[in-house]
Structure 1
Amino acid sequence: MPQDSSRHRVQATRRAARGTVAARVLLLALLTLFALAVRAEEARPLLRLDGHERALDLYPYLALYRTTDDVRPGDPAPPLQAHFQPLLRRSELNLGYTADRVWLRLELQSQAAQPAEWRIAFSYPALDRIELFSLGADGLQRQSAGDSLPRTQRSLDHRAPLFAVHLAPGERRTLYFLAHSSGSLSLDARLWTAAAFLHDNQNASLLLALYFGTLLGLAGYNLLLFLALRERSFLLYVLFAASGGLAMLALTGLGAQYLWPQGGAWGTRALPCFLGLANLGAILFSRSFLDSARHVPRWHRLLNIALAVQLPITLATLLLAAPLMLQVLAHASLANIVLLLGCGLACARRQVPAARVFVAAGLMLLGGSLLLALRNFGVAASNAFTVNALLLGSALELLLLSFGLAQRLSVLRQRQAAVTLDAQQQDLRALQEQERILEQRVAERTEALAAANERLRELALQDPLTGLANRTAMRQHLEQAWQRARRRREMLALILLDLDGFKPVNDCHGHETGDRLLVQVAHRLQASARSSDLVARLGGDEFVLVCEGIGSELQAEQLAGRILEELARPFRLDGVEIRIGASIGISFGLGCQCCEDLLREADQAMYRAKAAGRNCMHLGRRLAEGETLDEPAAPDEL
């Protein structure tokens, strides 16, 4: 136990000693940093110029002093006795949105062999006002710049704040810059010789001309596409590109230099106003480009909410204080980019045409904005790429969106062509089906017409009352039977009968009863005749039977006898018993030269039967003994 206690006391002593050493080291470091800061303040870094400077970064040589005092433009002198703080990092020049007035101090000395002129340019063109007070042997000189000043009041005509410094060999001069702005107060500055600045300015102007020329070309091209295709997405792209381009004109200082050189209140409101319009255009274009209402309804509702929020913000840029609106727009723009990227990713997962291109375009703009912000905060190196990162990102965004519009239009055209082809195929199938139905109906109508024609022919050859063959049908059949009998050398018998006692039936019982009687007579004749015989009604109460292939005259007589027997049986019509008879004439065509002769001979035989007392039969010319059909005998004279 004593040994354990001793060990614990030793360990505690060692820990206390180590803590004391660490505290001493920390105190020494703080004292060192304080001494360095005091030395830096006392040293007041001097920038020595040899006449060959090119884009020299001034932040190591600048000292800063912030004040909340309202320094009026007419105040003549800088605060010479103020406590200026040296800058240790470039990010200290990015003061953000502040209402403070900021003084910068810079000490220069020329080591050039001859008098020379230098240019000091601030890289952020959207500064409202910045003034230079140059204090040297010749007294205090003053220069002014900023987009809130009219173009004629700026010391040097340039898109960004620019100042000229003249130094004689060995001359030393202290410069004081007074800056304030309604927007972000970014005071990053560089120094060139006059000749070097002219060369670099030409390169920068070429880059800006290329950017805005590209933007103008893309907007004009898509405007022509809209006029040709009447697709709303192209018009919204043009509106988005135009508002974004105006915002970039305000941001780069070209707008204040050329489009609204009068400065004033509009010079400070132009940037937030056009940024608000660009946000509105981005939301409207994205809704149409992605067709969010159909593909992602939830995201579409969020876009509608963002649109409803952004519209009053844009209107407020014309009424409320510009610093407040710029801060609001900074957050609103970032929120819009995130929202549009989320909507684009949701559409990309659903395979919406050109959604991936839309996401890539949004990432380009977001990447350019972040890179410029990192450069302003001193995290990223300051060079031509980082300085122009926003321009490059927005240009790539517009190029990708234009490409995405073309791709989307191509996909939609392909889908429309597929739909059109499918519709055409459906129309073709419908036409084929209609043609089939039409052909079927034509065939049915043709069959019906043929049946109707056949029916008409039958009706034309049929007695309408009894359904027997009429006179026309009988003549046609008789002609054919006559020709066949002559060709085959067969006997043909024609049995002609006329009803006896039919007229009194009509007179006593009426014609309707007479018609029903004729129908029953037709039925009995059909029942008495052979299946190969034709039974016809010649008209009135005259009937005829055409008997082909009759075996002999005796068979014809027997057939006529059956007919007489059938007709002799009483007929019952409406409870009335009616009796009639028939006079029959039979012709065999012996010695006849045509069908008419056959009919005439049967008719004459029938009249001879009537003359013989009715209800009997009478034969026409018969075969004499030994006579054949090949050698017809002369007709009898009766």
Structure 2
Amino acid sequence: MALLGALSCATAIQAAPLQLDATTPSYAPARHIDVLEDREGRLTIADIASGAHDGEFRPALPADSEKTNAALNFGYSSSTWWLRLSVDSRAAVDGWMLLEIAYPTLDRVDFFAPVAGGWQQSQAGDLLPFAARPFVHRNMVFPLQVGDGVQSYYLRVQSDGSLTVPLQLWRPEAFERESQQSYALLALYFGMLLALMAYNLLLYFSLRERAYLVYVFFVATLAIGLLSLSGMGGQFLWPDWPDWGNVALPFGFCMAGLFGTLFTRVFLDTHKTVPRHDRVLVVLGWLFVLTGLAALTLPYYLSAAAVSLLGVTTPFVVISSGIICLRRNHPGARWFLLAWTLLMIGVSVQGARNIGWIPTNLLTLHAIQIGSALEMLLLSFALADRINVLRRERDNAQSQVIAAMSERLAVMMNVIPDIVFYKDRHGVFLGCNKAFETLIGRSESEIVGKTDFDMVAEEHARFFRLQDEIMMKGGKPRRNEEWVPTADGRFILLEMVKSPLYGAQGEPIGLVGIGRDITERYRGIELERVRNRIFELLAGGAEMSEILSQIVDYVERSRSGMLCSILLLDGARKHLQLGAAPSLPEAYNQAVHNLPVGDGAGSCGTAAFRNERVIVADIHTHPYWTPYSEILAQAKQAGLVSCWSEPVRSSKGELLGTFAVYRKQAGVPDETDINLIQQASNLASIAIERKHAEDMIWRQANYDSVTGLPNRRLFRDRLEQELRKTHRDGSSLALMYIDLDRFKEVNDSLGHDIGDMLLIQAAQRIRDCVRESDTVARLGGDEFTVILPQIDDINRVEQVAENIVEMLAMPFSFGREAAFVSASIGITLYPEDADNAESLLKNADQAMYVAKGNGRNCFSCFTGQMQEHALHRLHLIRDLRSALPEKQLRVYFQPIVDPRDGRIVKAEALIRWQHPERGLVNPMEFIPVAEEVGLIHDIGNWVFREATGWMKRWHEQGYACRQVSVNKSPSQFVAENSHGIWVDYLREIGLPGECLVIEITEGLLLDERVDIMQKLLQFRDAGIQVAIDDFGTGYSALSYLKKFDIDYLKIDRSFVHDLATDPNDLALSEAIIVMAHKLGLQVVAEGVETVEQRDILMKAGCDFAQGYLYAKPMPAEEFDALLASGKSLLR
């Protein structure tokens, strides 16, 4: 500002030329410079050299100025400045000299030297690549040739930043010396910065103090600005990046300001010590960030001005913060304040010089470098002092902690649950904590001076002493587990760690022992081991006594002095039986076996009765035990005094038995004892319940759920065993295969509940007929087997078979009703008939079918011919399965006539099988087979559709046959929705229900099942009539005739056959006809073959007749032709 003022007030005079002499190495030409301000920046060297603007040049400094070394400072100016230097050598210098501008941050400098015929131009500046400079140097240096006389040289200077032009004219050799010195000083300076960064970085990694890391960043960013300011960066780091060189200065100083304020906050803890200043520092930090970012995009002069303003403002905040912290006795504030004061003075001087507030000289030109060097020197002391402060604080903190620990050690020793004790080399106790006092049952004063031999049994004391000696000889801590007696007589397991104690000379003087009670942990491990062992035994099929003994052993090992037993509840739930008691005397175990369950029945009987824990401290005086003198005497002889009994319950809470603990002294269990007993009880519960479940699963897998007899699986196993035994003995064995005749009819008609009751009674009757050593089994359905080993007389086998046949032929009673079945039995012998189980079973099955073929209710012994019969039956079943799909079945019709005139009024549909190889197969041969293999449903439905189809034709033709009868087996009748299918089909083909009669057996009506009654009613609702087939041959009860709406009774052919010769058959037939008419029913007589039979039936009032007298069953086509002829069948 002073320079500008001088220029504005000066007269139009010129500065005197610079006089050169032969000895001066360098000159400061500032007083010999004329300057001209080119505000528009349009003037060229031609304009200037023409002399047209000579009047506008003014001396840069007043003629009387004493600042010979002053730099020309134009402040922040956007104008272009022309500088003119006139040099008068007077022949003192004839050669080259160097003109240096010692301010590397100028944007552009053009140097013009006179040459023949014009001007030689040289360029430099931080906006130009470094390679464009005429002389390699960090500053801008221009060579000029000096000759005799006065010569003028021009400089054109332009910069967006601080426009400072410190000029110096050098002789080349003098410049070289000075340049080397300056480079060396700068290298030393920046090397110091690098060393300082490395040193603080190491401190950071060592101490993890954030202040050191922040300071490293501060020095690094400050170095960037200083490298740019000194020209070192432009020469060595970014010579080809002039754009970055123009930004590096403000950006580096902005980042240095950011980390400087952050360092201040961290080092002085300003958020605690000076909160207001801390907030200002935060704001300044953000301003530095914003300015640094703006420097990347804004014009240089704006960012440079902003940096300078922040550089002037920041020191006041930082230094004032340091002053306040110093007053508040912050340990590092003294060094911090001094160091940062010097740095901030340098920064402020630099900023003031840049703005033009103070003159430029050597001190102001390098103010930042000088201030930062001093700051680093002093701050190194501050950081070193910070380490000492931290060490002192840490030492003080450790001392306080040690003091607090020392004060609390005694308290802690007495509150920790682990036991702690000290001994000397000879095993004498020197001290202990409260936990050890409680364990031993003595105070510390009573323990000190004693040894283990004074406080525990000798065997335990010897063991403890041995463990101490082993540790002392090893000279290092030793860990082991020890069972230690407690003051109340229990034993606990301690995890002991014993370590040697050493004296001042390093000699062993004793030991310290620390013990932790791991009894519960040990028991948990043991419990898991026992549980796993129990599961292994269960999986291996071990006996219950072995499994329970493992549980008893676990408890007895966990508690010294305990003797245990497990008693199991019997099947009647009235007595307790011995399960396991391996440690109790056998005489005592025998005495408590079958102990009754009841209130006051000893500890175990009472616990079982009440289903709760019973504790008896002294069994010899307790009223629960007094009535059981024998048990009490055995307990006294065994030395048993107390007994604690815990009920063993299932997962559903049901009683399974009891777990009892006996001790040889009076007392009650503590909480630990109860927990142990409960654990044992739970284990016993798991074992017992699992075993019961396995037994149940095995029984379900091997026994029939209805009869309780061995099933097919167990039967095969028994048969194999008996065969091996018989083979060894050389004896014989008989196998019976029993099938209940007509059981299926009973089961279908009376229901499955009645069927199951009949099977149970049948099983018991069969058992009553054989020996206990014989095996009776149910294979399934109505099939039973009997294994008769050790047979030496076939007559004995036949006698057993006859007894079974007789027993099973007797009536089976079910309340008011009775059912009749019979038995068909097949018999085969080992080794006469076969030598293996499979063949024996097959032979007996074949013999059983022979018995059925012989009229049932009998037995048959296996012969070789039966094999052929069985093979024939298998072929029959195979062919029958394909008969319906291959259309081999035929429907035949047999007329039902009015006996008075022989008119055909009805017909019964019958089935025939036209086998492709065997011809016509008798229905009596294949119908039972169809029922057995389940084909009767499909066959019956097919007959129904065929019969109703023909009936529709006859109905439409108006033939005399007005009804067709179709048989429906009990299994068909009870099948789901079978009645609905038939009714729907009649509607589908348009045939009235009155044209159909369904024939059922009387056994179906004996059951009062609601579903059967509903189906009959549904048939009647559809107009379908019902007839009872083979009436009189099945059951004795006739009350069902009143309960069901029946239309016809069909007298079985067995009554009709002997009407003429057997008065009984005549009486029964007449009674049936009379009874039917009384009930409003009509009667059809089957099997009418003679005129005499017809006449008797007519005389008795029989309504309809059917039999060979009139016609045999005939194919549908023949019967259709017969109806079409209208021919009467009167005989």
**TM tier relative to shorter chain:** 0.5 to 0.7
Deviation at residue 386 of structure 1 after TM alignment: 5.0
| C-alpha distance in 2 between matches for 1:404 and 1:245 | 20
| C-alpha distance in 1 between matches for 2:152 and 2:199 | 52
Tell me what 1:312 maps to: 290
Tell me what 1:84 maps to: 57
CA contact (8 A) 1:129 1:180 kept: yes
- Measured against aligned partners, the alpha-carbon deviations of 1:355-374 in whole angstroms (never above 9, x if no partner) come to 11111111111333455578
| C-alpha distance in 2 between matches for 1:362 and 1:139 | 54
Greater percentage in strand: 2
Deviation at residue 334 of structure 1 after TM alignment: 1.5
1:245 counterpart (220, 223, 237): 223
| C-alpha distance in 1 between matches for 2:91 and 2:364 | 32
| Change in CA separation of 1:408 and 1:207 when aligned onto 2, cut-off 3 Å | same
Q: Does 1:231 pair with 2:204?
A: no
| C-alpha distance in 2 between matches for 1:422 and 1:304 | 36
Tell me what 1:124 maps to: 103
Tell me what 1:258 maps to: 236
- Measured against aligned partners, the alpha-carbon deviations of 1:441-487 in whole angstroms (never above 9, x if no partner) come to 4335533799x99998xxxxxxxxxxxxxxxxxxxxxxxxxxxxxxx
| C-alpha distance in 2 between matches for 1:78 and 1:278 | 43
| C-alpha distance in 2 between matches for 1:292 and 1:218 | 24
1:97 counterpart (76, 98, 101): 76
Residues 352-391 of structure 1 aligned to structure 2 (within 5 Å): 352-370=330-348, 382-383=361-362, 385=363, 387-391=365-369
Tell me what 1:446 maps to: 440
1:54 counterpart (25, 36, 41): 25
| Change in CA separation of 1:397 and 1:317 when aligned onto 2, cut-off 3 Å | same
Deviation at residue 51 of structure 1 after TM alignment: 3.6
- Measured against aligned partners, the alpha-carbon deviations of 1:409-466 in whole angstroms (never above 9, x if no partner) come to 220221022112211221232222223557234335533799x99998xxxxxxxxxx
| Change in CA separation of 1:295 and 1:433 when aligned onto 2, cut-off 3 Å | same
Residues 43-442 of structure 1 aligned to structure 2 (within 5 Å): 43-71=14-42, 78=48, 80-82=51-53, 83-86=56-59, 87-88=61-62, 93-113=72-92, 115-135=94-114, 139-168=118-147, 170-370=148-348, 382-383=361-362, 385=363, 387-436=365-414, 439-442=433-436
- Measured against aligned partners, the alpha-carbon deviations of 1:242-270 in whole angstroms (never above 9, x if no partner) come to 10011000001111111111243222212
Letter in 2 for 1:94: N
| C-alpha distance in 1 between matches for 2:386 and 2:92 | 64
| C-alpha distance in 1 between matches for 2:93 and 2:486 | 125
| C-alpha distance in 2 between matches for 1:239 and 1:515 | 91
CA contact (8 A) 2:71 2:167 kept: no
| C-alpha distance in 2 between matches for 1:414 and 1:299 | 28
User: Higher mean Cα deviation, 303-312 or 140-149?
Assistant: 303-312
| C-alpha distance in 1 between matches for 2:198 and 2:93 | 51
Secondary structure of 1:416's match?
Answer: helix
| C-alpha distance in 1 between matches for 2:393 and 2:113 | 69
| Change in CA separation of 1:133 and 1:442 when aligned onto 2, cut-off 3 Å | same
- Measured against aligned partners, the alpha-carbon deviations of 1:199-248 in whole angstroms (never above 9, x if no partner) come to 11111112111111111111111112222222211111111001001100
| Change in CA separation of 1:75 and 1:61 when aligned onto 2, cut-off 3 Å | closer
| C-alpha distance in 1 between matches for 2:141 and 2:71 | 21
CA contact (8 A) 1:67 1:102 kept: yes
| Change in CA separation of 1:370 and 1:318 when aligned onto 2, cut-off 3 Å | closer
Deviation at residue 388 of structure 1 after TM alignment: 3.1
| Change in CA separation of 1:135 and 1:378 when aligned onto 2, cut-off 3 Å | farther
| Change in CA separation of 1:55 and 1:357 when aligned onto 2, cut-off 3 Å | farther
User: Higher mean Cα deviation, 241-250 or 422-431?
Assistant: 422-431
CA contact (8 A) 1:158 1:257 kept: yes
User: Higher mean Cα deviation, 146-155 or 436-445?
Assistant: 436-445
CA contact (8 A) 2:15 2:31 kept: no
Deviation at residue 293 of structure 1 after TM alignment: 1.9
| C-alpha distance in 2 between matches for 1:51 and 1:111 | 10
Letter in 2 for 1:440: K
Deviation at residue 194 of structure 1 after TM alignment: 1.1
| Change in CA separation of 1:225 and 1:389 when aligned onto 2, cut-off 3 Å | same
Secondary structure of 2:105's match?
Answer: coil
| Change in CA separation of 1:61 and 1:420 when aligned onto 2, cut-off 3 Å | same
Letter in 1 for 2:99: I
| C-alpha distance in 2 between matches for 1:226 and 1:190 | 45
| C-alpha distance in 2 between matches for 1:322 and 1:455 | 92
CA contact (8 A) 1:48 1:109 kept: yes
CA contact (8 A) 1:299 1:343 kept: yes
CA contact (8 A) 1:58 1:190 kept: yes
| C-alpha distance in 1 between matches for 2:254 and 2:46 | 38
| Change in CA separation of 1:271 and 1:187 when aligned onto 2, cut-off 3 Å | same
CA contact (8 A) 2:98 2:144 kept: yes
CA contact (8 A) 1:99 1:181 kept: yes
CA contact (8 A) 1:306 1:336 kept: yes
Letter in 1 for 2:320: G
Structure 1 portions without partners, runs of 5+: 1-32, 457-510, 517-538, 540-638
Deviation at residue 52 of structure 1 after TM alignment: 2.8
| Change in CA separation of 1:334 and 1:113 when aligned onto 2, cut-off 3 Å | closer
- Measured against aligned partners, the alpha-carbon deviations of 1:376-427 in whole angstroms (never above 9, x if no partner) come to 86967844x5543321211111222222122112202210221122112212
Secondary structure of 2:441's match?
Answer: helix
Residues matched between the structures, number? 428
CA contact (8 A) 1:47 1:108 kept: yes
| C-alpha distance in 1 between matches for 2:262 and 2:93 | 59
Deviation at residue 291 of structure 1 after TM alignment: 1.8
Structure 2 portions without partners, runs of 5+: 1-5, 420-432, 444-454, 456-484, 490-601, 603-617, 623-635, 637-1131
| Change in CA separation of 1:246 and 1:312 when aligned onto 2, cut-off 3 Å | same
| Change in CA separation of 1:261 and 1:51 when aligned onto 2, cut-off 3 Å | farther
Residues 497-512 of structure 1 aligned to structure 2 (within 5 Å): none
Secondary structure of 1:156's match?
Answer: coil
Residues 18-57 of structure 1 aligned to structure 2 (within 5 Å): 37-38=10-11, 41-57=12-28
| C-alpha distance in 1 between matches for 2:213 and 2:411 | 44
Letter in 2 for 1:432: A
Aligned-residue sequence identity (percent) comes to: 31
Bigger relative CO (Cα 8 Å, ≥ 6 apart): 1
| C-alpha distance in 1 between matches for 2:487 and 2:180 | 102
Aligned Cα root-mean-square deviation (Å): 3.4
Deviation at residue 350 of structure 1 after TM alignment: 1.4
- Measured against aligned partners, the alpha-carbon deviations of 1:21-77 in whole angstroms (never above 9, x if no partner) come to xxxxxxxxxxxx99x954xx44541112124333422111011111211349x8766
Letter in 2 for 1:57: A
Secondary structure of 1:343's match?
Answer: helix
| Change in CA separation of 1:245 and 1:172 when aligned onto 2, cut-off 3 Å | same
| Change in CA separation of 1:395 and 1:71 when aligned onto 2, cut-off 3 Å | farther
| Change in CA separation of 1:243 and 1:187 when aligned onto 2, cut-off 3 Å | same
Deviation at residue 317 of structure 1 after TM alignment: 0.7
Letter in 1 for 2:35: L
Letter in 2 for 1:447: G
TM-score of the superposition, structure 1-length normalised? 0.61
